[in-house]
Amino acid sequence: MKYYFSGIGGIGMSSIALHTFYNNEKVYGSNNIKNERIEYLKTKGIEIKTKQDKTLPDDLDYFIKSTAIKDDNPEVIAAKKMNIPIISRMEFLNSILKENKSLGITGTDGKTSTTAMISQIFKVAGKCPTVFLGGIHDSLKDGNYSFGEDLIIAEADESDGYIKKTIVDFLIVTNLRPDHLEHYDNDFENLKNSIENAINNTKQKVFINNDDKNLEKMNIKSKNVITFGLSEESNYYFKNRNQVGKYQEFEVYYNKVFLGKITMSTPGLHYALDALAAIAFCHDYGIGFKYISEGLFSYKNVDRRFNILYSNTSRYIIDDYAHTPEEIRHTIQATREFFPDKKIVSVFQPHRYTRLHREKDQFVDSLLKSDEIVVYKIYSAFEKPIEGIKENYVVDKLIESKKNAIFINNTKILFKYLSEYSDTVFLFLGAGDISKVAYEFKEHLDKMHVRT
């Protein structure tokens, strides 16, 4: 059969395109922006256009579109005229998960890291699952995808509204907060109902964060619920978490019985909780704690998750995908644990006007945990500006709270400003193109041969 992926360069789209390709189907695609995923897919022999127009291959059976592809896109218009079935990315993934033995990982935060941790544990245990990941990880053959057998492990994204139709054998829910509400009629209740549907649609077992108040209030019909969290009332919990040098350690318990000790190089409470979710599933699935421990000890971060780009005795650059208030708060705290004696300067790029509008005060509160803050120009993610929503709101509120904060909208000024700091960790935060800025700043420091 012939499949066309519109927006194939996206992290989620490229993984399902690879899955389709490895199942010996004919795959075509398009993407208006060139990126690393596009070049990688081309090496597989997948034909990709870098300009989206009304020209589509003949005899297509299915047209799969990214969430970013709107109905007025010329390719969508052409597909409708040709009577080609149009399917969204998550609908297509849902069809794969429903037809196979599968684990879905959903929630507002921690999906990608939890998925990657489970994949790493399975690898150490000698298993070969199929994995769909919402990021790039060295443990996967294709970065964000691995073709295997037995179980499918997939990041089940709630961002585009299709999670309510997800049907899997096993489901992990990391947490739930009001995010991506533009796909839920700006109503958190609709998002909660969608997650509740996914939970109640799960065929076998559901693993739920026992500390999350929003999940606690749900009408969960399944009797096969396993909990994880900080509370000792959870089925799986940990105690005595400590940062020891460059490693964090904690003790894991199952129904109040000590399972063993975990040591991992990824710092922060949020990563410990992601690991706990992975431990809960893997242990219940029958993987020995020895393999779980070895898997997490050898685990390296997903790309853009606490990625240390540059280090010398006085300056460090960390690139991190954190783009919600909770993620930012956790990432700054993890940085404090990892670099207790360094000043933290956060370079924050707001992601989407809708998110900044909805959570502007929460962003201010989370950024207060930094020593100093630079707010970089907003990344719209194709959204139209909202009147009155500007980066300066965050800066002004931070200054009111006695924080040294500034808005900078070009890299030349930014790099000059940051270069004045020493004994500092520069924490680049956001889901937009701030990662590119972080790499450019690294090059800037390299050229300066900074050795202070």
- For the beta carbon of residue 313, count every other beta carbon within 10 angstroms: 9
- For the beta carbon of residue 411, count every other beta carbon within 10 angstroms: 14
Q: What is the CATH number of domain 2-89?
A: 3.40.50.720
30 has which bridge partners?
6, 49
At position 199, the amino acid (one-letter code) is I
Report the alpha-carbon distance of residue 154 to residue 97 in Å, rounded: 8
Two tokens, residue 135? 């990021």
Q: Reply yes or no on domain 100-297 having CATH 3.40.1190.10.
A: yes
At position 317, the amino acid (one-letter code) is I
Burial of residue 213, with CB atoms counted within 10 A of its CB: 0-12 exposed, 13-18 middle, 19 or more buried: exposed
Two tokens, residue 14? 């490229």
Judge whether 357 and 386 are in contact, CB under 8 Å. Answer: yes
Two tokens, residue 289? 């704690």
* Per-residue confidence (pLDDT) for residue 269, from 0 to 100: 96
Judge whether 39 and 91 are in contact, CB under 8 Å. Answer: no
* Per-residue confidence (pLDDT) for residue 451, from 0 to 100: 47
Q: What is the pLDDT of residues 318-343, one digit of tens each?
A: 999 999 999 999 999 999 999 999 99
Residue with the two structure tokens 């990982």: 105
Per-residue DSSP letter, 393: H
* Per-residue confidence (pLDDT) for residue 361, from 0 to 100: 94
Return the closest-CA partner of residue 229 out of 85, 391, 107, 354. 107
Report the alpha-carbon distance of residue 66 to residue 55 in Å, rounded: 18
Report the alpha-carbon distance of residue 244 to residue 341 in Å, rounded: 14
Phi/psi zone of residue 347: left (φ > 0), alpha (ψ -120 to 50 degrees), beta?
beta
Q: Reply yes or no on domain 307-448 having CATH 3.40.50.2000.
A: no
Phi/psi zone of residue 192: left (φ > 0), alpha (ψ -120 to 50 degrees), beta?
alpha
Q: CA distances (Å), 444 to each of 232, 315, 341, 433, in order?
A: 48, 13, 24, 17
Q: What is the pLDDT of residues 183-218, one digit of tens each?
A: 788 888 999 999 999 999 999 999 999 999 999 888
Return the domain boundaries, the chain. 2-89, 100-297, 307-448
Stretches in the chain below the pLDDT threshold 50 = 450-452
* Per-residue confidence (pLDDT) for residue 452, from 0 to 100: 46
Judge whether 124 and 291 are in contact, CB under 8 Å. Answer: yes
* Per-residue confidence (pLDDT) for residue 449, from 0 to 100: 64
Report the alpha-carbon distance of residue 377 to residue 397 in Å, rounded: 16
* Per-residue confidence (pLDDT) for residue 216, from 0 to 100: 87
